[in-house]
Each structure stands twice: as C-alpha cells, then as structure tokens.
C-alpha cells in the first residue's frame, strides 16, 4: 500500500536579497520578495501596520518582482499601500487603480 497523503512544506520561504524599504512623503513600506517553492518569486508590500498588498502570480525572477513593485509604488503612490492603523493585519490582492499618478520622490534603503 502506498501513501498518497500530501505533505505540507513547513520550510521557511527563501527571502530575496532584493528586499527593500521604500519611503515617500515621510511614509515607509517594506517590499518583500520570497520564493514560492516552485522556482518563482512572490511579491508583497507591507506597511508599518502589517497590512500587506500581494501579487497573485509569481514572477520569473526576484529582480522582475522588485521592478514591478517599484513601478507600482511610483504609479499608485505610497498611500495606496498603507492600510488600517489599528494593527489588525490584512492582505489584499494588488489591483491597479484607474487614476494612476506619478510619484518620483521614492527613496530606496538597502
């Protein structure tokens, strides 16, 4: 008899060395990129209240994920990625807004 039970992968995700904090207008978010366990990279932007905005589809490389994250911050503005302040972490899927605006004063901290 063979065991067909699925095994749960409990290993820690692989974090990218490209993870960064971004600051604009005195507000900061953390851009977090980590491996999906299948060769792809997942992108998540987390605010200071632990609210996160996630991308549904994995990226081929961590650099591609970082580039998309930076572009989203520039186009949407940092306020788009900051959620509720009562420290009840939430996660939402990224959906570009219809009123895209440009923000050019983002600072990258390594």
Tens of pLDDT, residues 10-48: 556 789 999 999 999 999 999 999 999 999 999 999 999
- At residue 102 the predicted structure's pLDDT band, cuts being 50, 70 and 90, is very low
Question: Which of the pair, 96 or 23, is modelled with greater confidence?
Answer: 23
59 φ, ψ (degrees, to nearest 5): -100, 155
Comparing CA positions, the residue from 76, 19, 27 lying closest to residue 49 is: 27
Average pLDDT across the chain, whole number: 80
- pLDDT value of residue 33: 97
| Per-residue b or e along 39-61, where b marks 16 or more CB atoms closer than 10 Å to that residue's CB | eebbbbbbbeeebbbebeebbee
């Amino acid at each position: 008899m063979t065991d067909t039970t699925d095994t749960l992968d409990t290993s820690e995700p692989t974090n990218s060395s490209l993870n960064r904090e971004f600051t604009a207008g005195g507000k900061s978010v953390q851009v977090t990129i980590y491996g999906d366990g299948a060769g792809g990279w997942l992108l998540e932007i987390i605010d200071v209240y632990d609210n996160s905005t996630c991308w549904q589809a994995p990226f081929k490389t961590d650099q591609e994920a970082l580039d998309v994250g930076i572009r989203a911050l520039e186009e949407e503005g940092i306020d788009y990625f900051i959620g509720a302040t009562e420290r009840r972490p939430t996660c939402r899927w990224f959906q570009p807004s219809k009123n895209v605006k440009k923000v050019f004063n983002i600072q990258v901290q390594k």
